[in-house]
Copies of this chain bind each other. A is one copy, B any other.
Amino acid sequence: MAYNLWYWPGIQGRGEFVRLSMEAGGIEYRDCAREEGAHALIENMATFDRPPYAPPYLELDGHAIAQVANILLFLGDRDHLAPSNMNDRYWLHQVELTIADMVAEVHNVHHPVGSGAYYEDQKEEAARAAKQFREERMPKFLRHFEAAAKSNEGDWLIDHRWCYTDCSLFQLVEGLRYMFPKRMKTLEPDLPKLIGIHDAVAELPGIKAYLDSNRRLAFNEDGIFRHYPELDAA
């Protein structure tokens, strides 16, 4: 049975982290709000006794499973997108949560003083936030992910096959390249294992097919990773 995935139509956003693992794993899903619109999403979200705070979520047997890392933990267990060994499970989830932390900081770069206000109304603050993010936070996070990748001898974050967290690292690199192309060019030479995971994910048959399909939306300036040239620098 196909999963029902609910996420805002029109952007990759946080939903993309869920989509990528499902596409890599050949897991069938319906991207409900892309078929039925944002209005249907808002209506659906209000139907659960145990409500999600925000999309994305999976609708399953009348329940909603929300929060990207939680969804991926669930899919990892249920659809075998990760090893079942306990140590490995907590480790992969830990890295996934650190990716989520970085993604939240990415969003904060273009919305530092008001997530409900427009970028145009906080451009000066965003310039300050971006400088600190580029110079301090990006190297710190990315070196951490490089160290995480280095902890495994194989081509993946763990063992000798891909898992959901590899797909999320792929998306993180993709998003950062879109948002900070100059800065990534400076940092990437020191991240060979992380970029290796990115490249290996890009070659997975399910991911190749997805990236070539019209299901993959382009990055844009309504999503999380936004290319504002004034916020980038080498």
- Say whether chain A's binding surface is mostly helix, strand, loop, or mixed: helix
Q: How far is the CB of A218 from chain B (nearest CB, A)?
A: 26
A84 at the interface (CB under 8 A from B): no
A30 at the interface (CB under 8 A from B): no
One of A19-27, A32-40, A110-118, A224-232 at the interface: A110-118
Chain B contacts for A91, CB-based, 8 A: 50, 63
How far is A144 from B50 in the complex, measured between Cα atoms in Å? Answer: 10
A73 at the interface (CB under 8 A from B): yes
Within 8 A of B (CB), among A93-113: 93-94, 97-98, 101, 104-105, 108, 112-113
Looking at the complex, which one of B50, B114, B136, B147 makes contact with A129 (CB distance below 8 Å)? B114
* Pair B132/A114 contact, Cβ less than 8 Å: yes
One of A64-72, A187-195, A196-204, A208-216 at the interface: A64-72
Chain B contacts for A51, CB-based, 8 A: 144, 147-148, 151
Looking at the complex, which one of B70, B94, B128, B137 makes contact with A97 (CB distance below 8 Å)? B70
Q: How far is the CB of A51 from chain B (nearest CB, A)?
A: 5
Q: Mark A175-189, 1 if CB is under 8 A from B, else 0.
A: 000000000000000
A43 at the interface (CB under 8 A from B): no
* Pair B114/A128 contact, Cβ less than 8 Å: yes
* Pair B94/A70 contact, Cβ less than 8 Å: yes
